[in-house]
Structure 1
Amino acid sequence: MPPAYKRLDKDQCVFLFVDHQTGLIQLVRDFEPTEFRTNVLGLVKTASYFGAPAVLTTSFDTGPNGPIVKEMVDELPNAPLIRRPGQINAMDNDDFANAVKATGKKQVIISGVLTEVCVAFPALTLIEQGYDVFAVTDASGTFKDHTREAAHKRMAQAGVQLLNWAAVAAELQRDWRRDIEGFGKIWTDHIPGYWCLMQSHLNSSGESGKQ
Structure 2
Amino acid sequence: MYNRLDKDRCVFLFIDHQAGLIQLVRDFGPDEFRNNVLALVDTARYFDIPTVLTSSFESGPNGPLVQEIPDRLPKAPVIRRPGEINAMDNPDFVKAVEATGRKQVVISGVLTEVCATFPALSLVEKGYEVFVATDASGTFAEHTREAAHKRLQQHGVQLLNWAAISSELQRDWRRDVQGFGELWRKYVPGYWCLMQSYSQAKD
The normalised TM-score by structure 2 is 0.99
Read off the aligned partner of 1:29 and give its amino acid letter: R
Q: Distance in 1 between matches of 2:181 and 2:65?
A: 27
Correspondent of 1:58 among 55, 59, 66: 55
Read off the aligned partner of 1:46 and give its amino acid letter: T
Read off the aligned partner of 1:41 and give its amino acid letter: L
Look up the match of 1:122: 119
Whether 2:158 is the aligned partner of 1:161: answer yes
Number of residue pairs aligned between Structure 1 and Structure 2:
203
Q: Which runs of 5+ in 1 are unaligned?
A: 207-211
Look up the match of 2:201: 204
Read off the aligned partner of 1:188 and give its amino acid letter: R
Q: Distance in 1 between matches of 2:58 and 2:178?
A: 37
Read off the aligned partner of 2:15 and give its amino acid letter: V
Q: Distance in 2 between matches of 1:35 and 1:29?
A: 11
Q: Secondary structure at the match of 2:64?
A: coil
Aligned residues with identical type, % of pairs: 70
Residue 193 (structure 1) shift: 1.1
Q: After the TM superposition, which of the residue ranges 104-113 and 184-193 deviates more from structure 2?
A: 184-193
Alpha-carbon displacement from aligned partner over 1:4-26 (angstroms, at most 9, x marks no partner): 21000000000000000111000
Whether 2:31 is the aligned partner of 1:23: answer no
Q: Distance in 2 between matches of 1:41 and 1:49?
A: 12
Read off the aligned partner of 2:111 and give its amino acid letter: L
Q: After the TM superposition, which of the residue ranges 167-176 and 62-71 deviates more from structure 2?
A: 62-71
Whether 2:184 is the aligned partner of 1:193: answer no
The normalised TM-score by structure 1 is 0.95
Q: Show structure 1 runs of 4+ deviating over 6 A.
A: none
Look up the match of 2:86: 89
Residue 62 (structure 1) shift: 1.1
Correspondent of 1:47 among 44, 48, 53: 44
Whether 2:33 is the aligned partner of 1:36: answer yes
Alpha-carbon displacement from aligned partner over 1:161-211 (angstroms, at most 9, x marks no partner): 0000000000000000111111111111111111111111111111xxxxx
How big is the alpha-carbon RMSD for the aligned residues of Structure 1 and Structure 2? 0.5
Q: Distance in 2 between matches of 1:196 and 1:143?
A: 34
Q: Which runs of 5+ in 2 are unaligned?
A: none
Q: Distance in 1 between matches of 2:185 and 2:139?
A: 26
Q: Distance in 1 between matches of 2:173 and 2:72?
A: 23
Q: Distance in 1 between matches of 2:53 and 2:179?
A: 24
